[in-house]
Structure 1
Amino acid sequence: MNTSSQKVSVIEKIGYSLGDLAANLIFQTLMTFLAFFYTDVYKIPPGTASAIIFSGGMIGAFFNPFMGIIADRTMTRWGKFRPWILWTAVPFGVIAILAFSTPDFGAGGKVAYAMITYILLVIVYSANNLPYASLSGVLTGDMAERNSISSYRFVAVMVAQFIVQALLLPLVLIMGDGDKTKGFESVMTLFAVTGIIFFLITFLTTKERVIPKPEQKSSVKEDVSDLIKNKPWIAMLVITIFIFITLSLKGGMYVYYFENYLSEDALSNFLQNIGFNNFIAGLNNMLTGMGLHGFTWPEDAPTSGFSLFNAGGIIMMILGITISKKLADKFGKRDVFGISLFLSALCLLLFYFYAPESISLVFITQLVHGFFYGIGTPLLWAMIADVADYSEWKTNRRATAIIFSAMIFGLKAGLSIGGALVAGILAVYGYSEQLTIQSPETINGIKLSLSVYPTITFTISVIVCMFFYEINKKKEIEIQRELELRRK
């Protein structure tokens, strides 16, 4: 295993992180708004939308192991993983636009169009994001540097999350002049163009340093055998599945929580009392004065409240990320990740008990949840990179992409299950986009979906992490030292 200097420059860390910002403009939109887009914008029934999200997503998920095998065996002058970021940049952008377009088909045509474009999108996402994620394992063999890269990367993720969760709905209404159909198409076009540019920057600014020896050969059978014997890999697969079920489920339900459960009057009063409405009025006056009459902020309280709720959580997540590396360097990734996840799960549980008028408590809980979850956010992918080192340490063979492929499989499976649960739970509890006021049964299903159910799935992740992921701080140091000696 050959390596050059293990230090990574700030420019390279920023360049690498822009790739995740690009991917997350699309991924966060899928996780937060896909069910809403299908049911409330494209007018696909919730049960059918659930089937599309689950079946399409799982097809994409099962593509990941094949992509991992291909990526590990890619040999170019640019490396194994960087060229895939280049090759998939434009297709990713184009298909993202198509997936959020709304051609005027009949009921069957809409379902077929949604299914085809969603499958294409998750497949091209795998071809792009699996090599991108694997790249983090070969930029450096230094685990402290890897923690630093993850922190940069997930600040970029938080920026994308802020844009999507705090600004997407207002942007949809602004750019569509109140028409959500036109608005989604316009916003996704903007995201796609931005993403293509950022992917190209990632390709141009990064370098693969952990390079397998030319004589290293392994068959697919050996790679799969190594995975099955790798207990930390199995643990991370389970953790990843349940984390992304949680993120997709709660993230997809928040918009329904604001639209259908929280009191609009109480929300309006809250926004007025904290000065948000005055701030927006000043912003609208400034935009109007600049001649941008079509870019004034929407007036409805649920849209503003939802945006501010997500923005506050994301800002606190960024604060959590800033201390993540120091905590991980001192106590080890596993322990910090498990504890932060458990505390964030407790915060989610509280949402079930709040009354529709308890707006202040809802926002405060979101801030605390965001901080604790932010601490663990960058550690997930750094832990997966450590699993690749663990595999090399055990077998003396490096197979980075196939290890990451399983994690992307877990991400896709979790996204598919969580997204399908959003639409499926709405269908089970009788949600109808035609109703102005939903039934008490439907409201209860919405509350359960962003509190009790995510608490359960987060807790499962914590248990698996703490009891089956054996790479603690002591083991991290041992693996890094032994691999450094071998690579020299």
Structure 2
Amino acid sequence: MDASQNNVDKMPNLVKWPERISYAASDFACNLSFGMISNFLMFFYTDAFGISAAACGTLFLVARIVDAFDGPFWGICIDHTHTRWGKSRPYWLWFSIPYAIFCVLVFTTPHLSLEGKLVWAYITYIGVDILYSAVNIPITSVLPNLTNNPNERVTLSTIRQFFGTAGGTIVSVAALPMVNAFGHGDEQKGFFYTALILAIIGCLLLLNTFANTRERVQTASSKKALPIKTSLKALKHNWPWAVIIFINFIYWLGMQTRNQVTIYFFKYNMHAAWLTSIMLGLQMAALITVAITPWCSKKFGKRNTMLTGMLTAIAGQFVMYLGSKTLNVGIIIAANIIVNLGTGLVSGLIAVMLADAVDYGEWRNGVRAEGIVTSFSSFSAKFGMGIGGAITGWILNWGGYVANHAQSASALNAISINYVWVPMVGFALSALALLFYKVDSFEGQMQSDLRAKHARENKED
């Protein structure tokens, strides 16, 4: 292990700070705009647009079925792309503006019948989901081509996660005050103008990422379009990929359930809706552990670092259970801080481990397919978030939730189940899956073999 790490340490650092910041800005942009959707769209639908919780749950599930196709579709497109800008970067140029438009449309409230509202919600939500994949998948697929230095990848992913967490925190804290400020009591108007401003900022940042990043790791396969059948060979016996895709699914299922029900918990269980922004703002605590992720990863390994994060998040959810039973604000604040400290060690490493899976697919199967391997990251995350959204809606409906009314005991219990137990189960299953991740033990040898392979291929070209 020490010898492998020494080989890694000798590899050059190819990415300068301006490019690091430009790359990280992509995740800031996505979390700023899509964070608005993931945190507040269900509340917008039920309490502002007039769609039932059960209908929302079904909508989120249907959108995830569509994701079963759109994620791999974009991945295949990336593997077939060969331009002077690279394979992944062009997607920010081509799709950032359409994505921004749909980020606004999804919070637009035309005067329609209930059936018309559902049709509008289906079209705009599925549309924004598809376009989100078009701009988000390249953030992960471009990472293996920015640098082949594993430590630099961790650094890039950490900076990206730092910016992404900052973007998510900003929208969590600022969204509801912005809605109130722009709406003056009209939530529909407030949500529209808030979404418009965030979409414009996100679009400009994605275009900046396109302009200021470079795909510098060039291999024989990256210089040409890969047939679908060839791309799929990269997944054969790619167990690191399978483990991380499962973790990405179940982790984001729990996180989505927790985040989107936060506003319900504090509005109805705590009778203090104003606390929502503060609690979501505690995501800033994750910045502490995000900042130390490169050091922890280098010293203890990526698997052990992420496992520590999962176990910390589980402990935080147990403290959350104690707080939800007593409705003690202090305990709930402490629980949120603990959970966010744990998740700070998780989110940034998912992209790094997927980049490792790209390398593993090439090392074992001889096929480097950045698009198809990393596209399942977006699919699995959004599928998890969608199932989490569906679970939230169905549990709320089971509990008898009625928007904008005092809730029954069963409805309050349904909110607590979503806020406490679903995320805890997600974190626990993710921790269990990590026990099967073994890349850290042979990463140095894998990178050494791949550098020799790339040198031979480039010489032959």
TM-score of the pair, normalised by structure 1: 0.88
Is contact 1:57–1:118 with CA below 8 Å preserved after alignment?
A: no
Is contact 1:22–1:160 with CA below 8 Å preserved after alignment?
A: yes
Counterpart residue number, 1:420: 390
Give the Cα separation in 2 of the matches to 1:6 and 1:141: 9
Tell me, what secondary structure is at the counterpart of 1:302? coil
- Is 1:344 the counterpart of 2:344 in the alignment? no
- Residue number among 99, 102, 106 corresponding to 1:95 in the alignment: 102
For residues 69-468 of structure 1, the aligned pairs below 5 Å read 69-213=76-220, 218-262=226-270, 264=271, 301-303=272-274, 305-312=275-282, 314-354=283-323, 355-435=325-405, 437-467=406-436
Give the Cα separation in 2 of the matches to 1:356 and 1:420: 28
Between 424-433 and 23-32, the greater mean CA deviation after superposition: 23-32
- Is 1:479 the counterpart of 2:416 in the alignment? no
Give the Cα separation in 1 of the matches to 2:307 and 2:201: 34
Q: Aligned letter for 1:50? A: G
Deviation at 1:178, TM superposition (A): 2.2
Deviation string, structure 1 residues 180-216 (Cα, Å, up to 9, x no partner): 1101100110011101110111011100012221687
Deviation at 1:17, TM superposition (A): 0.8
Deviation at 1:6, TM superposition (A): 4.8
Paired-residue identity, %: 30
- Is 1:470 the counterpart of 2:425 in the alignment? no
Give the Cα separation in 1 of the matches to 2:352 and 2:312: 20
Deviation at 1:5, TM superposition (A): 6.5
Give the Cα separation in 2 of the matches to 1:411 and 1:231: 18
Deviation at 1:61, TM superposition (A): 3.8
Deviation at 1:67, TM superposition (A): 1.2
Deviation string, structure 1 residues 98-157 (Cα, Å, up to 9, x no partner): 011111100000000000011111111111111222111210010000010011101111
Counterpart residue number, 2:16: 9
Is contact 1:72–1:399 with CA below 8 Å preserved after alignment?
A: yes
Q: Aligned letter for 1:195? A: G
Q: Can you give the 5+ residue segments of structure 2 that lack an aligned partner in the other structure?
A: 1-10, 456-461
Q: Aligned letter for 1:302? A: A
Give the Cα separation in 1 of the matches to 2:267 and 2:145: 44
Counterpart residue number, 2:4: none
Counterpart residue number, 2:64: 57
Is contact 2:263–2:276 with CA below 8 Å preserved after alignment?
A: yes
Deviation string, structure 1 residues 394-451 (Cα, Å, up to 9, x no partner): 122210110011111101111110111111111111100141x211111111111111
Q: Aligned letter for 1:395? A: N
Tell me, what secondary structure is at the counterpart of 2:145? coil
RMSD value over aligned CA atoms?
1.6
Is contact 2:313–2:340 with CA below 8 Å preserved after alignment?
A: yes
Deviation at 1:26, TM superposition (A): 2.2
Give the Cα separation in 2 of the matches to 1:217 and 1:95: 30
Give the Cα separation in 2 of the matches to 1:8 and 1:332: 22
The total of aligned residue pairs comes to 443
TM-score of the pair, normalised by structure 2: 0.93
Tell me, what secondary structure is at the counterpart of 1:212? coil
Do the aligned partners of residues 173 and 341 (structure 1) sit closer, same or farther apart at CA in structure 2, a change above 3 Å counting?
same
- Residue number among 19, 30, 33 corresponding to 1:23 in the alignment: 30
Q: Aligned letter for 2:210? A: F
Give the Cα separation in 2 of the matches to 1:5 and 1:213: 21
Give the Cα separation in 2 of the matches to 1:61 and 1:8: 34
Give the Cα separation in 2 of the matches to 1:349 and 1:222: 46
Is contact 2:57–2:389 with CA below 8 Å preserved after alignment?
A: yes
Give the Cα separation in 2 of the matches to 1:378 and 1:186: 31
Give the Cα separation in 2 of the matches to 1:182 and 1:123: 25
Is contact 1:63–1:123 with CA below 8 Å preserved after alignment?
A: yes
Q: Aligned letter for 2:297? A: A
Give the Cα separation in 2 of the matches to 1:240 and 1:452: 18
